[in-house]
Amino acid sequence: GAVVSQHPSRVICKSGTSVKIECRSLDFQATTMFWYRQFPKKSLMLMATSNEGSKATYEQGVEKDKFLINHASLTLSTLTVTSAHPEDSSFYICSAARMGLGGDNEQFFGPGTRLTVL
């Protein structure tokens, strides 16, 4: 159990285009999903927290108009990188939260999406 999928796994786009990344929890309902960005050989950097049916909460320094998040259902969240530029090239990873035994959430990660903007 606790499988999270992400699509696409890899995308190459031209500068100025928008790219949508989907994150799905396949076998559980996730009221909260998280979006991370990871640079090579670095830890995960949280971008935003996404709650079903409400606006996402963005971390300081993350442009909400640049990274649009929609959490339409308990199993699906999407991240849209609008007007992508080469500096947006990165590895984007989502996670879906499920309540753990200790009362805190356990986060299960998707396989990631490698975005390359030319």
Partner 1 sequence: GQQLNQSPQSMFIQEGEDVSMNCTSSSIFNTWLWYKQDPGEGPVLLIALYKAGELTSNGRLTAQFGITRKDSFLNISASIPSDVGIYFCAGHPPGGGSNYKLTFGKGTLLTVNP
Shortest Å, Cβ 83 to partner 1: 26
Nearer to partner 1, 61 or 102 (CB): 102
Give the integer Cα–Cα distance in Å for 44 and 6: 16
Shortest Å, Cβ 66 to partner 1: 20
Shortest Å, Cβ 42 to partner 1: 8
Nearer to partner 1, 81 or 96 (CB): 96
Site residues for partner 1 per CB under 8 A: 2, 4, 6, 31-32, 34, 41-44, 46, 49, 51, 57, 91, 93, 95, 97, 99-112, 114
Nearer to partner 1, 42 or 85 (CB): 42
> Residues for the chain: how many in total?
118
- CB-count exposure of residue 91 (10 Å: 0-12, 13-18, 19+): middle
Closest CA to 111 of 43, 10, 13: 10
Q: And the tokens for 109?
A: 């990660």
Shortest Å, Cβ 70 to partner 1: 17
First to last CA, the chain: 37
